[in-house]
Every structure is written in C-alpha cells, then in structure tokens.
DNA sequence: AAATATTTTTAGGCTCACCTAAATATTTTC
DNA sequence: GAAAATATTTAGGTGAGCCTAAAAATATTT
C-alpha cells in the first residue's frame, strides 16, 4: 500500500479544484483560474503549485499551467468521493435541502478515515449519484460519467428531456429550481427558444409551463428522451 | 443572538480540554496539565492562553492557571456535544466498535454547522449517553451527569454494580473490555480485593468470573445496585 | 514587429500555532 | 528562611498559507 501522506485541507482543496477545472479532457489549469475558484491571489497559487509539484502531486512548468499526476488524481477523486457521499448523507438521512449541503460537505470532505467513508457508502446503499446528479466515485476511484448528458440550454426544440444534474455551486439557483418544481428526474418539454435573450419556453411535465433564462438553462444537465 | 465567532480547531481543542481538566468542580487548570493533554510545550500553551484570554474565552492570570468564562464554557460544551453525538452515530449507525470512534470524532467535532448537529441529534433519537457512557449535552448545553457514579476500583466488596461508563481514551482498554465481555449495562459482582496489587476478583454476570487489575477497574464507572 | 495588455512569478511581509533556550516565579525541601 | 526543584513565562525562531507590490513572461492588438 502506498504510504499515507497527510495533506493539509488547503492542499486537498487545490487538488480537488485542479481536477474539476481540468475536466474530463484533462486540460491544463491556469494559475488565474485557480485563483478565481479558490479565492486567493495568483501569487499564493504559485506558491502552492510549487509545493504540490515538489510532492509529485501535480505537473507544473512555469507559465504553462498545471495538471494532476496519477498520484494527485487518485487523491482528488477520493476527496470528491467523500464530498458527494456526505452530501448524499445530508439529504437522504438528515433531510437537508439540496441547496444546503455543499458548504457542509466542503468541511466534511477533509475528514481522514477510509473506514468512515466506506461505511458511510454502505449505509447509504452505495449511491451512484449525489443530490445534484453528479457521479460518486467508487472506492477504487472509478467514476461513471453519464454519457449522453447535455445542457438544457443546448437541447433541441420540441424535445422531451430528463433532468439528470444541476450545477450545485449556487444555493440560490437550487432554491429557485425547488420553487418552480424542477428536480432531478423531472421531464421537460422544450417548446421554443426566444431569439432576443435565448430564454426557453418549457413545460416541466406534471407541474407547469414557464420561461427560464438561458443562464438557468445553462446550469441544468439533461438527457434526451424523445421528440414531441 | 451572540455573534458567531469563528475559532480555529486549535482554539476549540484548548477550550474542550480546559473544560475536561477543570472537571465538575471547575478547578483551575495548569499550564503543564494542558501541555500534557495537548501534546505541546508549556510555552506554546502560554501563547494560546493569552490569546484565549484576550478573546474573553478564559480567565487567566500569569502563574495562576486558567478557567473557562461563561462564553468559553458554552463553546466547550457544544464541542463536546458534537464529539459525543458523532461517536454515537459511528457506533449506532455505521457499526464502528467503541474503541474506533474517538479519533474520528476528534475531527468531526470541529465541523461548523448547528443545523447539522441538531439534525444528527434527531436522527439518533436524542441519545442521552455516548458509546462510552458519557452524557451528551443537549442543544441548550445542559449536561445531566449521573449522580451516583463511582469507579469500579472503589466499589465495596460483595456489591453488585452496573457498568455505566468506561474511559474512552485508550482503544486498547476498550478492546480488552470487549474481549472479556464487559460492556455498558453489564452487571458485576465484586468478590474480593487482592491486597498485594489491589486487583479485583469479580464476576461479569452471565459471562465469567475473573480478575481485573486496579488500573482497569479505575477506568470503569459503575453504580451500586445491591448487596450480594 | 512593436506596443500594449494580460498573466504569472518573484520578493518581501504577515499571522497562526507551534518550537527551543533562557529567564523568572512559585513550590518544596532542608 | 535559604537553597533546590519545579512550573511558567519571555524571547526569539520556524513553516504553512496567505498577502501586496514589482518584475518578468506571454498573449493580443495595432
Ligand atoms: Mn458540493
Ligand atoms: Mn454535489
Ligand atoms: Mn471521544
Ligand atoms: Mn466518548
């Protein structure tokens, strides 16, 4: 077994954010992008990138951005696993709203105990997705991404789609979606894209017809079901 | 509502340990006692005592030890509440052994979310005691200490007693107690105190007769049930 | 290609929570 | 009550993780 290196909360957060910003295509992540996401100055980012590079957790060449090494990615995925399992716990067992769990999970994801997280996984019955529809990595680090996911903003007119994920970062968006009756699993009929502002005329099946802004639609992940 | 001051993990640990070392009699706590318990040098303790004193969380006069203020005690009790609720969660919901939970709870007790802890309390059905028999403060901070608790080491010969608590600090003691079949609620008949080493000849009712050392007996809390 | 704008790094500083070594206060022993 | 032992504080220092200001590299515009 690889030596258990203990990383600080800060180091763990950097790895997690690098993983997320790199995306599935594993793009290089820029210093400024990290500074934005981590709410720190670029100079602070540079400091940490040097440290993570020394520890072989990222590849980093001056001015060229950074990317996770295998070692770094393994750790990043475990942190994401913890984050999403904790979010699932909060929603399914403690009846938190989906807009309330992210901040608490940001703390809980740093608890060090492999046994805890595996037991939690079992207690939750090995959930595949978190409350926002994001995939939960298994204990080996495998992530099964939904293959045919698109943004609602990009859905074809006259399609019926199913909501499979929502962007979790903004509690106010999540509360709004709650209020209009849009949740994971909701069916949505896409009627019309208004040319002026690209807002969408939709029906949340079984709930209501309404307009939603492009910005909202851009934060909702859906999969195609059928033509109207 | 009092302003939510955010304390570091370190500050929280100091308050918790001061509370525990002061005991129910609220004795002054010495710098060295804190250094021992917190595994830090006395000079580091002094630094922190000054800081906590500036924040009005403790009363502190040079060379005279320290004690919690009301404000400090309120916080300390909330940390202990969190610690014990998490321990209870780990044992009752995730089937951890009682010797495995303390270290994880040391981390979990610092998670900042009043809602989380209240929901957890509810989820656990408002437990009154943690897996080691220690009382769990309620959300208002009230602690109901068991009134007639004594150490097994001090129990009278020919008494039958019930185990109500165990010292949680040593996993190896807890594993040993597991192995000999001694748990919370166990009845114990006290037959004889061996003069040479003050070890006890006992019967764990329904399990076995055996000898236990004074040191072990000193870490088991019991209440008197009846004379043999 | 040069000028300008943007991004990133370097240099130097700060706070936190710890440390060692030395000084000082308190307690215990004779 | 003085000497010795112990407890505590002060003084000065360290690394982690942040900061600002200035310098250097890269990207964009003209
Ligand atoms: Mn989240
Ligand atoms: Mn999520
Ligand atoms: Mn404990
Ligand atoms: Mn306990």
Q: What is the DSSP string of A144-156?
A: ---TT-EEGGGPP
Alpha helices in chain A (DSSP H): 9-22, 31-38, 42-54, 70-92, 101-108, 114-123, 171-180, 214-217
Residue A181: the pLDDT is 97
Q: Which domain range does residue B108 map to?
A: 1-145
CA A83 – CA A73 distance, rounded (Å): 15
CA B183 – CA B133 distance, rounded (Å): 10
A20 and A95 both lie in a single domain: yes
pLDDT at A1 over 60: no
Residue A114 burial by CB count (10 A; 0-12/13-18/19+): exposed, middle or buried?
exposed
Tell me: the pLDDT tens digits for B106-124? 999 999 999 999 999 999 9
B213 and B121 both lie in a single domain: no
CA dist B48 → B14, B17, B71 (Å)? 8, 13, 17
Angle A145-A147-A150 from CA coordinates, rounded to 5°: 105
Among the three residues B145, B162, B195, which one is the final residue of a domain in this structure?
B145
Q: What percent of chain A has pLDDT over 70?
A: 98
For residue A192, what are its two tokens? 């019309």
Q: What is the DSSP letter of B154?
A: G
B154 and B139 both lie in a single domain: no
For residue B30, what are its two tokens? 């010495």
pLDDT at A133 over 70: yes
Name which residue leads in pLDDT, A41 or A4: A41
- Please give all residues whose CB falls under 5 A of ion ligand 2, grouped by chain where several chains appear: A 87, 130, 132, 134, 168
Name which residue leads in pLDDT, A4 or B74: B74
pLDDT at A228 over 90: no
Cβ atoms of B158 and B108 closer than 8 Å: no
Indicate which ligand has the atom closest to the C-alpha of A136.
2
Q: What is the DSSP string of B6-30?
A: PPPHHHHHHHHHHHHHHTTTT--B-
SS3 content of chain B, % helix, strand, coil (to 5): 40, 20, 40
Those residues whose C-beta lies under 8 Å from the C-beta of residue B63, and which sit 6 or more positions away, are none
Gap from B220 CA to C25 C1', in Å?
39
- Please give all residues whose CB falls under 5 A of ion ligand 1, grouped by chain where several chains appear: A 102, 168
pLDDT at A39 over 80: yes
Q: What is the DSSP letter of A97?
A: -
Confidence of residue A4 (pLDDT cuts 50, 70, 90): low
B162 and B178 both lie in a single domain: yes
Residue B39: the pLDDT is 98
CA A86 – CA A106 distance, rounded (Å): 9
A113 and A178 both lie in a single domain: no
Backbone angles phi, psi at B162, to 5 degrees: -115, 135
CA A42 – CA B41 distance, rounded (Å): 36
A132 and A165 both lie in a single domain: no
Confidence of residue B4 (pLDDT cuts 50, 70, 90): low
Tell me the pairing of strands B159-166 and B187-193.
antiparallel
Full-model pTM: 0.94
What is the pLDDT averaged over residues B11-35?
Answer: 98
Domain count, chain B: 2
Give me the CATH number covering residue B8: 1.10.10.10
Indicate which ligand has the atom closest to the C-alpha of B165.
4
What is the pLDDT averaged over residues A203-224?
Answer: 97
CA B113 – CA B194 distance, rounded (Å): 51
Tell me: the pLDDT tens digits for B78-89? 999 999 999 999
Residue B161: the pLDDT is 98
Residue A3: the pLDDT is 59
The interface residues of chain B toward chain A in range 68-97, judged by CB-CB distance below 8 A, are 90, 93-96
- Please give all residues whose CB falls under 5 A of ion ligand 4, grouped by chain where several chains appear: B 87, 130, 132, 134, 168
Which residues make up the interface with nucleic strand D when CB must lie under 7 A?
A 8-11, 38-41, 43-44, 47-48, 51, 62-63; B 30-33, 42-43, 45-47, 49-50, 60, 62-63, 65
A123 and A156 both lie in a single domain: no
Gap from A196 CA to C9 C1', in Å?
44
CA A134 – CA A77 distance, rounded (Å): 13
Among the three residues A112, A145, A178, which one is the final residue of a domain in this structure?
A145
B118 and B161 both lie in a single domain: no
Residue B3: the pLDDT is 59
Confidence of residue A217 (pLDDT cuts 50, 70, 90): very high
- Is B114 an interface residue toward A (CB < 8 Å)? no
Say how many Å lie between the CA of residue B100 and the centre of ligand 4.
Answer: 10
Q: What percent of chain B has pLDDT over 70?
A: 98
Whether the beta carbon of B39 falls within 7 A of nucleic chain C: the reply is: yes
pLDDT at A80 over 90: yes
Mean pLDDT score of chain A, rounded to an integer?
A: 96
B66 and B129 both lie in a single domain: yes
Backbone angles phi, psi at A20, to 5 degrees: -70, -40
Among the three residues B126, B145, B164, which one is the final residue of a domain in this structure?
B145
Mean pLDDT score of chain B, rounded to an integer?
A: 96
B156 and B140 both lie in a single domain: no
Those residues whose C-beta lies under 8 Å from the C-beta of residue B224, and which sit 6 or more positions away, are B148, B150, B155, B156, B159, B160, B161
Give me the CATH number covering residue B166: 2.30.30.90
Residue B2: the pLDDT is 59
Cβ atoms of B15 and B79 closer than 8 Å: yes
A181 and A100 both lie in a single domain: no
Whether the beta carbon of A45 falls within 7 A of nucleic chain C: the reply is: yes
Tell me: the pLDDT tens digits for B189-225? 999 999 999 999 999 999 999 999 999 999 999 999 9
List all nucleotides in chain D with at least one atom under 7 A from a protein Cβ: 7-12, 16-22, 25-26
Gap from A63 CA to C2 C1', in Å?
23
Q: Considering only CA atoms, name the residue closest to the C1' of nucleotide C21.
A: B43
B116 contacts in chain A (CB < 8 Å): 90, 94, 104
B191 and B118 both lie in a single domain: no
Tell me: the pLDDT tens digits for A114-124? 999 999 999 99
For residue B17, what are its two tokens? 């340990």
């Amino acid at each position: 077994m690889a030596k258990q290196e203990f990383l600080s909360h800060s180091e763990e957060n950097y790895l997690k954010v690098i993983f997320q910003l790199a995306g599935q295509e594993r793009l290089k992540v820029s210093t400024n992008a990290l500074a934005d996401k981590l709410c720190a100055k670029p100079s602070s980012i540079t400091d940490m990138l040097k440290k993570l590079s020394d520890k072989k957790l990222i590849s980093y060449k001056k001015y060229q951005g950074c990317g996770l090494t295998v070692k770094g990615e393994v750790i990043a995925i475990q942190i994401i696993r913890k984050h999403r399992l904790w979010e699932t716990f909060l929603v399914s067992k403690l009846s938190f709203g989906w807009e309330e769990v992210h901040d608490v999970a940001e703390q809980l994801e740093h608890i060090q105990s492999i046994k805890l997280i595996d037991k939690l996984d079992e207690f939750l019955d090995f959930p595949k997705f978190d409350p926002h529809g994001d995939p939960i990595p298994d204990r080996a680090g495998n992530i099964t991404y939904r293959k045919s996911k698109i943004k609602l903003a990009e859905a074809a007119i006259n399609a019926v789609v199913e909501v499979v994920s929502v962007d979790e970062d903004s509690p106010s968006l999540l509360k709004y979606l709650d209020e209009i009756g849009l949740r994971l699993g909701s069916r949505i009929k896409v009627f019309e894209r208004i040319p002026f502002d690209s807002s969408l005329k939709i029906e949340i099946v079984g709930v209501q017809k309404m307009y939603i802004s492009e910005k909202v639609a851009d934060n909702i992940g859906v999969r195609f079901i059928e033509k109207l």
